[in-house]
Structure 1
Amino acid sequence: MTTAATTSAIRLLPASQCPQQCDNVFLLAARWPAALPRGSLPRAHWLPRTLPAPGLLAWLQRDPLRYPLFCETYWSDLAANPPRWQALLEAAAAGEVVLLYDGEDGQFNPVRALASFLEARLAARSYWQDATLRSSPVCYAGLQH
């Protein structure tokens, strides 16, 4: 299946469908896609180390029903290594981000798991940034210091 998935700030597309005039495009592949010449994605940033470890991917591919546990493991690894995904989060906070992947688009795509991780981080960031709008100084008026 080669249809694009759309989320609030993050779009997933096969590398072969890269929009030419779009900024904030990131290629997420361990190796450059064999079907694409290096100059074919001039505006894309290649992030080969953002995807999960090859062993974890192989483990998932043996049984797609492991996807929930795969996500937990991958997200824990990402949480412990912010430099691997921080640029993606900053770009998504500023506007739409396109994540390009090499391979099949499916329910168990590791780039889909990465997008879910980033969306959760964006939601948490938004929640805390808007916290001052949700609280009232009146709530604290009766407290003594």
Structure 2
Amino acid sequence: MIHFKRVFEAAQATDGRRVLVDRLWPRGCRKDALGLDAWLREVAPSEGLRKRFCHDPTLFAEFRLGYRAELAAHPEHWQMLLELARQGDLTLLYAAKDEHHNNARVLAEFLEEELDRCAPPSSPVCYAGEL
């Protein structure tokens, strides 16, 4: 399962693998205090997209579309996250104050959709009545 939470929240056993998905290091955080498994700067939104969004909730729909397009164009940036999610719990960490309008939420949705898309069908095809 893929979770996302602010980097300033305490680590929990249910977090599983913890990955920071921001391009910039969070202010006021010591690297040794976060309990990270990885920091993937390249999976974060581009600097231009991040600056245009500027954490304005009214621009979130536009940001989501732009970020999803960036993700689709660079699967090499998020393939590792997909593999970690297949292995167990994965928590995407972000520094933004807004818990509803942030890149980790968009990334989690994107990864969940990729997991669903790549999953085997849940049941075999039924050919009843076709004989």
Q: Could you state the TM-score of these two structures normalised by the residue count of structure 2? A: 0.84
2:5, 2:99 → 1: CA distance?
A: 11
Larger Rg: 1
Paired amino acid for 2:121: D
Q: Aligned residue for 1:130?
A: 121
Q: Give CA-to-partner distance per residue, 1:20-46, whole Å, 9 cap, x none.
A: 655411011212223111212344211
Correspondent of 1:81 among 44, 65, 74: 74
Question: Root-mean-square deviation (CA), in Å?
Answer: 2.3
Correspondent of 2:95 among 102, 108, 114: 102
Point out where structure 2 has 5 or more consecutive residues left out of the alignment: none
Paired amino acid for 2:65: E
Q: Give CA-to-partner distance per residue, 1:83-134, whole Å, 9 cap, x none.
A: 11111111112211011111213321111111111111112122xx126x33
Q: How does 1:43-122 map to 2 (within 5 A)?
A: 43-61=36-54, 63-122=56-115
Equivalenced residues, count: 130
- Give the fraction of aligned pairs with identical amino acids, expressed as a percent: 29
2:7, 2:55 → 1: CA distance?
A: 24
Q: Could you state the TM-score of these two structures normalised by the residue count of structure 1? A: 0.76
